[in-house]
Amino acid sequence: MKKKITVIKVGGKIVEERESLDNLLNRFAAIEGYKVLIHGGGRSATKMAERLGIESKMVDGRRITDLETLKVVTMVYGGLVNKSIVASLQARGINALGLTGADCNIIKAHKRPTGNVDWGYVGDVDSADGTMLSKLIEQGITPIISPLTHDGKGNMLNTNADTIAAETAKALSSIYNVTLTYCFEHTGVMRNPDDANSVIPQIDSNSYKKLLADGTISGGMIPKIENAFNALNGGVTKVIITRADAIDGTSGTHIVV
């Protein structure tokens, strides 16, 4: 029987605000068994870019990453945000190790082709190395992965954290029984964003199409759910979208195939 592992992806305001991040890390530290944390940090990157006089350009909520912006996101994601999380987890007794996709060659990607938009140094994942990650995990190390990959040619690439979480979970699924949890500020996927009690408890492919068609699911929730389906189709056992204070899986929206 495979050992269990929990992969948590955290982003949004939770990473940016000290109190919410502390609460999340307390709950993450309390998870029993093996675990991995993938984090975002877009707001921090935008603030740092502004301080440095670098304009942040976004298309449909996604960051265009020219060379100067790449320097900023590498500093912020791989440095400030990642190492702050690692230090906070060490204080909680978790032997954490901060990683980008370039470290130990764990996540390789290619530069997104130029189409209607030139995304610059944005990466689409080619592969994640679950075997290498498992070697760290089996030594009692908890990987903390930032949303940065590399192309194997010396270039770092800015990569969507939800995608990294799905690909990491898939890579680990051949070795472990994987639960992937996307956590953010809301209770789950909601029918009405203004009603905390309108959480949709379960979404499958058929209901997803209906919710997409009627506009209940839109914006940034679309790639999150598509990544969830991708993970499940790639061998992940369970995917949950929930609030940061409910990463024990007792509430939220379960994505099923």
Question: What phi and psi, each to the nearest 5 degrees, are found at residue 7?
Answer: -110, 120
Beta carbons of 249 and 237 less than 8 angstroms apart? no
* 210 vs 194, residue with greater confidence: 210
70: three-class secondary structure by DSSP? helix
DSSP letter, residue 76: I
Domains of the chain by range and CATH? 3-255 (3.40.1160.10)
Host H or E run for residue 239 = strand 238-243
pLDDT at 228: 96
Interval 87-135: pLDDT, tens:
999 999 999 999 999 999 999 999 999 888 999 999 999 999 999 999 9
Give the whole-angstrom CA distance, residue 35 versus residue 142.
6
Kindly state the tokens that stand for 230: 């991708």
- The per-residue pLDDT for 62 is 82
The radius of gyration of the chain's CA atoms, rounded to the nearest angstrom, is 17
Considering the entire predicted model, what is its pTM? Answer: 0.94
Give me the chain's average pLDDT, please: 94
Angle between helices 205-213 and 221-233 (to 10 degrees): 170
